Chains A and B, each alone.
Chain A
Amino acid sequence: MNRYMLNSIKAEAIKQHKSVYHSNLMYFSMLIWPVLELFSAYYAYKPFEGTAASEIVAKWVGDDMIFAFILFGYISFIFFRCFVQSAWRFSSERISGTLELIYQTPANRLGIMLGNALASLFESTWMFMVFCIGALVLFTNLRISSIFMPLVAVLSLVIPSICWGIFMNSLFMFSRDSGMLYTVFQSPMEIFGGAKLPYPAFPFWAKVIGGVFPLTWSINIVRKIFMNGALLSDIKFELLVLCAICAALFLMTLLLLKKSEAYARKTGNMALF
Chain B
Amino acid sequence: MLIAKGLKKNYTSKVKTGFLKSTTKKVEAVRGLDLTIEPGSIVGLLGLNGAGKTTTIKMLSTLLEPDEGSCAIDGLDLVKDAFQIKHMVNMIAGGERMVYWRLTARENLEYFGRLYSIPKEELKSRIESLIRFVGLQERSEEAVEKYSKGMKQRLQIARGLINDPKYLFMDEPTLGLDAPIARDLRRFTKSLAKEQGKGILLTSHYISEIEELCDYVYIIDRGLKIMEGTPKEIASIVANCTNKYKIKLNVLPDKLRGQFETFMSTVQSEFQLEEVDGGIEIDVSSHKDIQSELISMLSQQSKIISFTAMEPKLEDAIITLSEVKNYEQVHA
Interface residue A147 (Cβ < 8 Å from any Cβ of B):
no
Given contacts A104-B63, A268-B58, A270-B63, contact A96 B100 (CB under 8 A): yes
Q: Are B90 and A104 in contact (CB under 8 A)?
A: yes
Shortest Cβ-Cβ A-B pairs, 9 listed: A11-B114, A97-B97, A107-B115, A105-B115, A97-B98, A265-B65, A106-B86, A15-B111, A7-B117
Interface set, chain B 53-110, CB cutoff 8 A to A: 55, 58, 61-65, 83, 86-87, 90-91, 93, 95, 97-103, 107, 110
Interface residue A143 (Cβ < 8 Å from any Cβ of B):
no
Q: How far is the CB of B298 from chain A (nearest CB, A)?
A: 53
Question: Count of chain A residues with Cβ under 8 Å from any Cβ of B?
Answer: 31
Interface residue B12 (Cβ < 8 Å from any Cβ of A):
yes
Q: How far is the CB of B14 from chain A (nearest CB, A)?
A: 11
A-side contacts of B98, CB under 8 Å: 96-98, 100-101
Interface residue A267 (Cβ < 8 Å from any Cβ of B):
yes
Q: Are B93 and A3 in contact (CB under 8 A)?
A: no
Interface residue B112 (Cβ < 8 Å from any Cβ of A):
yes
B-side contacts of A176, CB under 8 Å: none
B-side contacts of A98, CB under 8 Å: 97-100
Interface residue B116 (Cβ < 8 Å from any Cβ of A):
yes
Q: How long is the Cα–Cα vector from A268 to B58 in the complex, in angstroms?
A: 9
A-side contacts of B90, CB under 8 Å: 104
Q: Are A7 and B63 in contact (CB under 8 A)?
A: no
Q: Which residues of A contact B (CB under 8 A)?
A: 3-4, 7-8, 10-12, 14-15, 18-19, 22, 96-98, 100-107, 112, 264-268, 270-271
Q: How far is the CB of A17 from chain B (nearest CB, A)?
A: 11
Please pick, from B93, B103, B107, the residue contacting A97 in the complex, using a CB distance under 8 A: B93
Interface set, chain B 37-64, CB cutoff 8 A to A: 55, 58, 61-64
Given contacts A11-B115, A104-B91, contact A266 B100 (CB under 8 A): no
Q: How long is the Cα–Cα vector from A3 to B116 in the complex, in angstroms?
A: 10
Given contacts A8-B115, A104-B91, A267-B12, contact A18 B102 (CB under 8 A): yes
B-side contacts of A101, CB under 8 Å: 91, 98, 112, 159
Q: Are A106 and B102 in contact (CB under 8 A)?
A: no
Q: Considering only CB atoms, which chain B residue lies closest to A265 in the complex?
A: B65
A-side contacts of B117, CB under 8 Å: 3-4, 7, 106
User: Mind listing 7 A-B residue pairs with CB under 8 Å?
Assistant: A7-B117, A11-B114, A12-B111, A18-B103, A22-B102, A100-B58, A106-B116
B-side contacts of A7, CB under 8 Å: 114-115, 117
Q: Considering only CB atoms, which chain B residue lies closest to A106 in the complex?
A: B86
Interface residue B263 (Cβ < 8 Å from any Cβ of A):
no
Q: Which residues of B contact A (CB under 8 A)?
A: 11-12, 55, 58, 61-65, 83, 86-87, 90-91, 93, 95, 97-103, 107, 110-112, 114-117, 159, 163
B-side contacts of A268, CB under 8 Å: 11, 55, 58, 63-64
Q: Considering only CB atoms, which chain A residue lies closest to B93 in the complex?
A: A97
Q: Are A19 and B100 in contact (CB under 8 A)?
A: yes
Q: Are A265 and B102 in contact (CB under 8 A)?
A: no
Q: How long is the Cα–Cα vector from A3 to B63 in the complex, in angstroms?
A: 23
Q: How long is the Cα–Cα vector from A103 to B89 in the complex, in angstroms?
A: 13
A-side contacts of B12, CB under 8 Å: 267
Q: How long is the Cα–Cα vector from A101 to B93 in the complex, in angstroms?
A: 10
Q: Are B102 and A19 in contact (CB under 8 A)?
A: yes
Q: Considering only CB atoms, which chain B residue lies closest to A93 in the complex?
A: B100
B-side contacts of A8, CB under 8 Å: 114-115
Q: Are A15 and B103 in contact (CB under 8 A)?
A: yes
Please pick, from A3, A10, A265, the residue contacting B64 in the complex, using a CB distance under 8 A: A265
Q: Are A104 and B97 in contact (CB under 8 A)?
A: no
A-side contacts of B97, CB under 8 Å: 96-98
Q: Are A103 and B111 in contact (CB under 8 A)?
A: no
Q: Are B63 and A100 in contact (CB under 8 A)?
A: yes
Q: Are B116 and A19 in contact (CB under 8 A)?
A: no
Q: Considering only CB atoms, which chain A residue lies closest to B162 in the complex?
A: A105
Q: How long is the Cα–Cα vector from A14 to B55 in the complex, in angstroms?
A: 32
Q: Are B115 and A266 in contact (CB under 8 A)?
A: no
